[in-house]
Structure 1
Amino acid sequence: MSMQTTMQAATRGRWAIAGIFLANGFLTGSWAPQIPVFLTRLDITKFTLGLLILLFGVGAVMAMTWCGHLISRHGSRTVTRLFGICGSFGLLIVALAPNVPLAAIAMLIFGGSIGGMDVAMNSNAVVVERRLSRAIMSSSHGFWSLGGFAGGALGGYSIQNYGYLPHAIAVTAIAFAVIAFAIRYLVAEDEPQAVEHQKFTLPRHTAVYLVGLMALLTMISEGAVLDWAALFLHQELGADLAVAGLAYAAFSGVMALMRFLGDGVRNRFGAVATLRGSALVAAAGMLVAGLSPSPYLAIAAFAFCGFGIANMVPILFSAGGNQEGMPSGTGMSVVTTMGYSGILVAPSAIGFVAEHSSFGPIFIALSGLLVIVLLMAGLAHRAEFAPEAVPAE
């Protein structure tokens, strides 16, 4: 295969994996407006709803844990295709569940398919990065954010005017169409990464767990803004609900924009320098938010924090997928599982602390976690790029 043909295939693969990220974000974002209907339709308490949502997280982490093993045996393209097609039906399965036991099973399946798809698509993005010898991870996550915004923004209107089930059917059809088209052009690894009968084992490389710890600390901060920023502004800074809602909107909007710009920054300055600068900006934003006496200053600080956090996770995912001496899927599985565990565990822990304290000190403490990532940034050197050798014709 000539270099020109290889680069053309890699370019198509780059846009194909962007479509997969977009569809994954669209499915996830479309679930949020379904939650109020889910609560009333099954006639359950908020506690029961919380347990069902937890099952989504459990399914995601279970799939993430095993996905690296599947990728090492079958390649990221095959596993992305599998979880992508399955994931497109996840929301519809949940919408069709008539009672709590079946809803619990549906949430496990939905979470597992989205979680497995997440690891596989990030692993395939690493393959594309190697083939192109440049970063595409940040903009891929930008497409995820764009899909999530579209799913959340259109979902409420669709459900209110057409009903929850037609909405779920429409989301499924759109996601399936995008995924079915995109998977035709995904890039494959050049050769199998593991022997057929390799058993599932956890990697023994300490470095990948340290990168996973960095992802955990980063995503704890991201999850804290998602779940608690609005309540912080409303209860402690006296903002009304409309203003309080701007906290996460500013954070996520700036984060999505920076993810589309982040690859250019990373390609110019390198992964480690970009991660250090991003962590410094994020820590400063979180610190100012925690100390802020004004809701508008806090909103600006959270936006500044989103400016920093935007490219931290994509860089850490690239570093996880490029660990020396292990398949990309295995490293990606460890880092994504540890990272997303922060979003799953942190909200309840922060809520418990906030009941006995206030949110201000919590956000100040989170800025300290981001400083730790800053100090560990050198461990992300595996996300730097060198040209990949092109196979001879």
Structure 2
Amino acid sequence: MSFQNASVGRWAVAACFFVNGFMVGSWAPQIPVVASRFELSETALGLLILVFGCGAVSVMPLCGYLIGRLGSRRVLRVAAVVCALSFAGLVAATQIWQMVAALLFFGAFLGAMDISMNANAVAVERSLGRAVMSSSHGFWSLGGFVGAGLGGVLLERYGYMAHAGMVVAFAFVIALAMLPFLIVEARPVAGQAGGARAGFPRNPMVYVTGLVALTCMLPEGAVLDWAALYLRQEMGAGIAEASLAFTAFSGTMAVMRFAGDRLRNRYGAVRTLRYSGIVATIGMLGAGLAPTPSLAIIAFALSGMGIANMVPIVFSAAGNQPGLSPGAGMSVATTIGYSGMLVAPSLVGFIAERTGFAPIFLAFSVLLALVLSMAGLVRSADTIAAHT
């Protein structure tokens, strides 16, 4: 594959990250609306969000297998288009069982898109011979920033139905425009060890890397699912102000992720992960201790700055494990990470109904601090050149 084609493919996969983040960010301000529409308690809402995670995790092993057989490009093309359209089901549901089905479907194609776009980004890294994963995730955060920021305003002004229609139209157009330019892997991933049987690779380090991904992803998921409700119910913020929690989190995350590849190339994956963990821990601690919505939003922004490059580094490490295809390593890391997030929403909702959200965010600051002791496990993220 030519360097020029890889460069174009780099921007195409970045657009896919943006669309995926935009869809997730657009869902964040809809969560309090769903709670109100169906009169759900925190525990019930947590169980409903659990369905969203179940949809994502259920397709991940299959997606890794399909990427090994068909390549990430073909899987991503289908997943991106269906994902964009599936958002409409979240507002079309009028009964709780319909909402469950819509969330399951939406989560499944978000998950399929997640694995395939990350695998395609690893293929771009190998083609270019340099890191692009952090900046790719930067586009995800930028999409989340735009989706959450506009979402709160549009919901208040036009209602949840009109908001969903605009989300679907925008995401669908972007996806259709960029999908033809995605790159094809330089070599058939199905022929690599672990490619065709991507669900159960033999390399134990890929599972350990998945546990690091789990530790990094849980706090990120907590901000997505619960930060807006935390500000709205416990601090009295309005819908638009409450949506700023995830907006600020995604905004600082986007800025740091665009700088992440340069930082990682300069300091290495291990040191970058350690520094990021320190900042993330301080930010999440501040969010749990904040007395006002404004201070909580600032704290969430700081935690986003720290968490920004943690997940991209871990995913790059998983996708560059020796003897594995990107799809195989990526499916394991994302499955383990998202599997933990299956338990977290319902558990957070159950605990929050009894203690409030502040102690939960304090607990997540401790979890982020644990990443510091596991930073050495991501050294494979610095071996891109060995795969080119």
Band of TM-score, shorter chain: 0.7 to 0.9
Q: Is the CA contact (8 Å cut-off) linking 2:288 and 2:361 kept in structure 1?
A: yes
Alignment of 1:69 onto 2:62: no
- TM-score, normalization: structure 2? 0.85
The equivalent of 2:369 in structure 1 is 371
Looking at CA atoms only, which structure, 1 or 2, has the larger radius of gyration? Answer: 1
Deviation of 1:349 after TM superposition, in Å, equals 2.3
Aligned mate of 2:254, from 253, 256, 264 = 256
Q: Is the CA contact (8 Å cut-off) linking 1:222 and 1:343 kept in structure 2?
A: no
Deviation of 1:166 after TM superposition, in Å, equals 4.8
The equivalent of 2:150 in structure 1 is 154
Q: Is the CA contact (8 Å cut-off) linking 1:83 and 1:113 kept in structure 2?
A: yes
The equivalent of 1:145 in structure 2 is 141
Which residues of 2 match residues 8-157 of structure 1 at below 5 A? 8-35=4-31, 44-46=38-40, 51-97=47-93, 99-157=95-153
The equivalent of 2:321 in structure 1 is 323
Over aligned residue pairs, what C-alpha RMSD do you find? 3.3
Q: Is the CA contact (8 Å cut-off) linking 2:146 and 2:247 kept in structure 1?
A: no
Q: Is the CA contact (8 Å cut-off) linking 2:198 and 2:331 kept in structure 1?
A: no
* Structure 2: distance between partners of 1:157 and 1:207: 44
Unpaired runs of at least 5, structure 1: none
* Structure 2: distance between partners of 1:88 and 1:246: 23
Alignment of 1:218 onto 2:230: no
* Structure 2: distance between partners of 1:288 and 1:152: 21
Which residues of 2 match residues 256-295 of structure 1 at below 5 A? 256-287=254-285, 290=288
Alignment of 1:350 onto 2:348: yes
Deviation of 1:380 after TM superposition, in Å, equals 0.6
Aligned partner of 2:177: which letter? F
Q: Is the CA contact (8 Å cut-off) linking 2:287 and 2:295 kept in structure 1?
A: yes
Deviation of 1:61 after TM superposition, in Å, equals 0.9
The equivalent of 2:189 in structure 1 is 193
Residues 176 and 323 of structure 1: is their aligned pair in 2 closer, same or farther, counting only changes over 3 Å?
Answer: same
* Structure 1: distance between partners of 2:229 and 2:33: 23
* Structure 2: distance between partners of 1:28 and 1:326: 29
Deviation of 1:141 after TM superposition, in Å, equals 1.5
Deviation of 1:229 after TM superposition, in Å, equals 5.2
* Structure 2: distance between partners of 1:37 and 1:368: 31
Unpaired runs of at least 5, structure 2: none
* Structure 2: distance between partners of 1:381 and 1:39: 42
Residues 249 and 92 of structure 1: is their aligned pair in 2 closer, same or farther, counting only changes over 3 Å?
Answer: closer
Q: Is the CA contact (8 Å cut-off) linking 1:255 and 1:306 kept in structure 2?
A: yes
* Structure 1: distance between partners of 2:30 and 2:384: 44
Residues 147 and 73 of structure 1: is their aligned pair in 2 closer, same or farther, counting only changes over 3 Å?
Answer: same
* Structure 2: distance between partners of 1:294 and 1:222: 21
1:181 partner SS: helix
Deviation of 1:345 after TM superposition, in Å, equals 2.2
C-alpha distance after superposition, 1:96-116 (max 9, x if no partner): 445444443332221111110
Deviation of 1:45 after TM superposition, in Å, equals 3.6
Aligned length: 382
Residues 382 and 167 of structure 1: is their aligned pair in 2 closer, same or farther, counting only changes over 3 Å?
Answer: same
* Structure 2: distance between partners of 1:382 and 1:153: 35
